[in-house]
Structure 1
Amino acid sequence: MTGNLAAATTNSDPLVNTLVFGLFVVITLFVVYRVSSRSKSTTDYYAAGSAFTGRQNGIALSGDFLSAASFLGIAGAIAIHGYDGFLYSIGFLVAWLVDLLLIAELIRNTGRFTMGDVLSYRMRKRRVRAASATSTLVISFFYMLAQMAGAGGLIALLLNVHGGFGQALVIGGVGLVMVLYVLVGGMKGTTWVQIIKATILILCAVLMTVFLFGKFGFSFSNLLSAATEKSPMGDKLLEPGGLYGANDTSKLDFVSLAVALVLGAAALPHVLMRFYTVPNSREARRSVVWATACMFVFYLCTLVIGFGAAALVGADEIKSAPGGENSAAPLLALHIGGTLLLGIISAVAFATILAVVAGLTITASASFAHDVYANIFKKGKAAPADEVRVARLTAVAIGVLAIVGGILANGQNIAFLVALAFAVAASANLSTLLYSLFWKRFNTAGTLWGIYGGLGACLLLVFFSPVVSGSPDSIFSAVDFHWFPLKNPGLVSIPFSFLCGYLGTVLSKDKADPRKHAEMEVRSLTGIGS
């Protein structure tokens, strides 16, 4: 098996791989520069002037949602764990259908640039905007960890870089390119990168799927049979329990994961912010339709790619490769198409990482500049040019933090890390968004209790969970200070945030403004005034 791994890594040509990736970066940077607006207005920088069509924004939305976790993490999880790995695909798709179809348009009609606009609509604006910015920054950081960890694992395979220092340098390079996308292009440039990336990603996934079907006589049963024959799990690869069925704790962890995935999508700031790039509610609805179609096709392809990797590459080779589980899709590309296909698939995966991290960066920087700088420090009187300048400086700072976090998280399964980001998003934001839209009595105290209570509980449970310490795949595997048994805290932290929001409302003496609630209700349902 060591010989197989050596052949897999040495037969790939680092020069070819680097040229393919470098070509993509040059082309996309040129596109970003060409489409970037010279205007210094906040509408152009944050929302691309609301000039995109529903079809364009829908493809970009799918690009934002189809992160490195979707391409690298899920394929690896299916190849190694089988049925349980595909649960990530189901969770991500159901999350989109359940959450965004229900509340995305309402949020788009109510806000202007950020989630803080929605939450502060009928509350004390400065305190709520500060809380919203805090949650946005934390959620964006967790999501970035997954993307940067994917970059480290992918470059280890792509350039045959095994050392931690070399992978750290590459993660730093990815962070630098990502910051350039944001600084040069703003939301308009970032959106076009997402459109290009989503198109290429879905096309590559479909072509790999068609090839795999052809190789196994266009029979999915033949493909599954080959996967079970090569997998150490045998027939159990197709049964529940490969990843979450070892004991009662792991089963409970699966329930917690499912809750976080299904409820987290509606609270992801970088996904919600993209709805502000279309001019009206009709185009927002078209965005959801296009994004749903793109993601449905892609997640069906991940099922075939994952089991194809199990059948043609094998679990042992995937686990032994640089990047571990995250190397399943690139290794499959190497096996079926040689060095050139490996370079193309790796470039697509890098494009995925760069585009998603750029979207996260512009969201986090916009939240700080718009919610904190413009509306808290400057009390709503900041000049647009100054606000955009602060957003760009914030993007640089966020890029540095993402690089450091990515180095620490390198080696973790990125689908799992994204699931953690979903849990943080649902814990911090979902309760307050729903209460704000649908509960007339909800007030400022409830908003603050819901955001800080859910966010604090989630972070506390993650810190004292096996994610951070106490297991061989922990971030700090050499120490053990965990006491919370679940790897995903969503099952506890999400209900706790709803409880905090409720108690904060009923126990405070703050009175909600019924006129503001009625105004917000009309605006969210009709789009009048948005």
Structure 2
Amino acid sequence: MKRVPKHFVGSALALAALATSPLALAAGGDIGNVNKQATNWIAIIMFGVFVAATLWITKWASGRTKSAADFYTAGGGITGFQNGLAIAGDYMSAASFLGISAMVMATGYDGIIYSIGFLVGWPIITFLMADRLRNLGKFTFADVVGYRFKNGPIRSFAASGTLIVVAFYLIAQMVGAGQLIKLLFGLDYWIAVVLVGALMMIYVMFGGMAATTWVQIIKAVMLLSGVTFMAFMVLSKYGFSPEALFADGVRVRTEVAANAGKTPEEAAKAGLSIMGPGGFLKDPISAISFGMALMFGTAGLPHILMRFFTVPNAKEARKSVGWASVWIGYFYILIFIIGFGAITLVLTDPTMADTAKGVIHGGAGAANMAAVLVAKTVGGDVFYGFISAVAFATILAVVAGLTLSGASAVSHDLYATVFKGGKADTAAELKVTRITTFALGIIAVLLGILFEKINVAFMVALAFAIAASANFPALIMSILWKNCTTRGAVIGGFMGLVSSVVLTIVSPSIWVATLGNSPESVLFPYSSPALFSMPLAFFGVWFFSITDKSARAEIDRAGFPAQQIRSETGLGASQASSH
């Protein structure tokens, strides 16, 4: 591949500088047209420093990106520790930092369902998939699922699943970014979303996986440091007693219920409800379905699976998962504390919230800013600026990883492998990647504007449900079941994909909350489709494989022993991923 011309990268950096200039000009605007805030120059400076640093990393990475392997997997030269931090950086998204803390603030105990659900997917990846992914894959998870299957159908399915999961995941990140910049700088929401989209396109188009990885590592270190300080400061106000923190949270919620006109008994019950289930998920079916989506969806997220191809061998892949589990588990424990800190510190501050109603100023979408406002209460403007910059870094890093996985699905899986039969030259493939990146950026901006009011953690949960229903069944069956065939994997995968998307659209969260239809017209009453769509996908893979008597099916089954040896020993893996 030809190196990106220096003047081209320089022009991109200048464009980014122009794109970020409205931040300083617009600082100090309205927060939801409720109250004015003074210009926070510390936050502006920290934003500027982070954007400048990451753009420099992108420029550095563009000079090292000389092949498709460099672009997609950073040449396979990332260590297990580095990759574990990068995975954690990829996984600790706007949904985790902003969305879960907002969910804990709103519903209490039920918010921890997200934390546990997001975390328990990692043992599945550790024990069933990490080695096999690294040994079988090259650039994308479709390389793994399609190892012994016919390229055209399986990669078409894999690319479809990847793009739809990426689209839903991107929505959450764009909404989080828009709300953050709207809160901090007073920019119109849509301008903030466009800004994030422009920066993300620059990172991916010029830096590829190397730039994305280092942005994620830096962001992970900053985020872990920030939430550690926040949780420490919240607990310090209660003598480091979580029990005292939770009791104060119950007190605040009881007062809010009393202000709403409830009787003392009803108010006390409402206050205590945040310490038990039922605040968010009202029925057992929704709870089970939601849990399945979060647990198995982790093992089907294309931007997470893609990270296993950046390490040199299976041992480093296992090490990656180990380190990622440590950082992510630690992070989620602290987020629960920060969520209760939002109840006790933010909702009782009249400059930040309507204390009588127990909601943050600025409308529905403003609730996503709970964690950022906790930072202001415990650390003043300096820490507020730091956490705001970290939240912005969080969103940019995850958006870059998502966009890279979506672009690689189009360029590597569809263009290079299906349309060109594996004979596309590197320059043409990377050109398609950059065009796709631009298109995904436009789509992400438009969807981010459409879904402005939705909770970002909930939107990501829908992406997990689709990943659990489409990608995970086809992936796990293809690497563990010898009788799985191309027809079974493709039909079963599409059954899971279509059913999960349709059920998601006709569920209350989209049909009523986003599209504005009446609650009476809802066709699917539950919060998540995974309990129904994931078993349907597994059934489809099984049924259409065992009934497949074609000549292609015999080839698929005959290829399993070689795949098993490769997946468990790694023999031939290094040659396949070399460049």
TM class by shorter chain equals over 0.9
Moved more, 317-326 or 338-347: 317-326
Q: Measure, in 1, the Cα distance between the counterparts of 2:291 and 2:65.
A: 43
Mapped pair 1:320 → 2:361: yes
Q: 1:482 aligns with which of 522, 525, 529?
A: 522
Contact 1:57–1:278 (8 Å) recurs in 2: yes
CA offsets 1:408-467 (integer angstroms, 9 cap, x no match): 111211111111000000111111111111111111110111121110101111111112
CA offsets 1:176-231 (integer angstroms, 9 cap, x no match): 00111101210001000000000000110001111112111111111111111112
Mapped pair 1:508 → 2:548: yes
Q: 1:209 aligns with which of 203, 206, 231?
A: 231
- Measured after TM superposition, the shift of residue 14 of structure 1 is 4.8
Contact 1:154–1:327 (8 Å) recurs in 2: yes
Q: 1:234 aligns with which of 250, 271, 284?
A: 271
Distance 1:239 1:176, change over 3 A: same
- Measured after TM superposition, the shift of residue 497 of structure 1 is 0.6
Moved more, 506-515 or 121-130: 506-515
Mapped pair 1:24 → 2:50: yes
* Structure 1 segment 94-493 matched on structure 2, within 5 A: 94-161=120-187, 166-231=188-253, 232=256, 233-245=270-282, 250-314=283-347, 316=357, 318-321=359-362, 323-470=365-512, 474-477=513-516, 481-493=521-533
State the one-letter code of the partner of 2:523. Answer: W
Contact 2:197–2:441 (8 Å) recurs in 1: yes
Partner of residue 70, structure 1: 96
Counting matched residue pairs gives 515
Contact 1:257–1:488 (8 Å) recurs in 2: yes
Distance 1:528 1:439, change over 3 A: same
Distance 1:7 1:443, change over 3 A: closer
Contact 1:449–1:504 (8 Å) recurs in 2: yes
CA offsets 1:221-255 (integer angstroms, 9 cap, x no match): 1111111111243122111222223xxxx332121
State the one-letter code of the partner of 2:361. Answer: S
Contact 2:281–2:527 (8 Å) recurs in 1: no
Q: Measure, in 2, the Cα distance between the counterparts of 1:377 and 1:500.
A: 27
**1:512 counterpart SS class:** helix
Distance 1:228 1:25, change over 3 A: same
Contact 1:176–1:399 (8 Å) recurs in 2: yes
Q: 1:524 aligns with which of 567, 574, 577?
A: 567
The CA RMSD over aligned residues, in Å, is 1.8
Q: Measure, in 2, the Cα distance between the counterparts of 1:6 and 1:107.
A: 46
- Measured after TM superposition, the shift of residue 469 of structure 1 is 2.1
Q: Measure, in 1, the Cα distance between the counterparts of 2:148 and 2:381.
A: 57
Contact 1:318–1:328 (8 Å) recurs in 2: no
Distance 1:210 1:220, change over 3 A: same
State the one-letter code of the partner of 2:194. Answer: G
CA offsets 1:53-102 (integer angstroms, 9 cap, x no match): 11000000001111101100000111111100111111111122333442
Contact 2:32–2:361 (8 Å) recurs in 1: no
State the one-letter code of the partner of 1:491. Answer: L
**1:95 counterpart SS class:** helix
State the one-letter code of the partner of 1:285. Answer: R
**1:456 counterpart SS class:** helix
Contact 1:11–1:339 (8 Å) recurs in 2: no
Moved more, 230-239 or 453-462: 230-239
Q: Measure, in 2, the Cα distance between the counterparts of 1:251 and 1:477.
A: 26
State the one-letter code of the partner of 2:314. Answer: S
Contact 1:130–1:372 (8 Å) recurs in 2: yes
Contact 1:37–1:44 (8 Å) recurs in 2: no
Distance 1:418 1:57, change over 3 A: same
Contact 1:463–1:482 (8 Å) recurs in 2: no
Mapped pair 1:42 → 2:68: yes
- Measured after TM superposition, the shift of residue 24 of structure 1 is 1.1
**2:509 counterpart SS class:** coil
**2:508 counterpart SS class:** coil
Contact 1:149–1:407 (8 Å) recurs in 2: yes
Distance 1:9 1:186, change over 3 A: farther
Q: Measure, in 1, the Cα distance between the counterparts of 2:34 and 2:59.
A: 37
Normalising by structure 2, we get a TM-score of 0.86
- Measured after TM superposition, the shift of residue 504 of structure 1 is 1.4
Q: Measure, in 2, the Cα distance between the counterparts of 1:328 and 1:503.
A: 47
Q: 1:61 aligns with which of 67, 80, 87?
A: 87
Larger gyration radius, structure 1 or structure 2: 2
Q: Which runs of 5+ in 1 are unaligned?
A: none
- Measured after TM superposition, the shift of residue 339 of structure 1 is 2.4
Q: Measure, in 2, the Cα distance between the counterparts of 1:8 and 1:479.
A: 29
Distance 1:405 1:6, change over 3 A: closer
Distance 1:68 1:6, change over 3 A: closer
Distance 1:338 1:83, change over 3 A: same
Q: Measure, in 2, the Cα distance between the counterparts of 1:371 and 1:443.
A: 19
State the one-letter code of the partner of 2:244. Answer: N
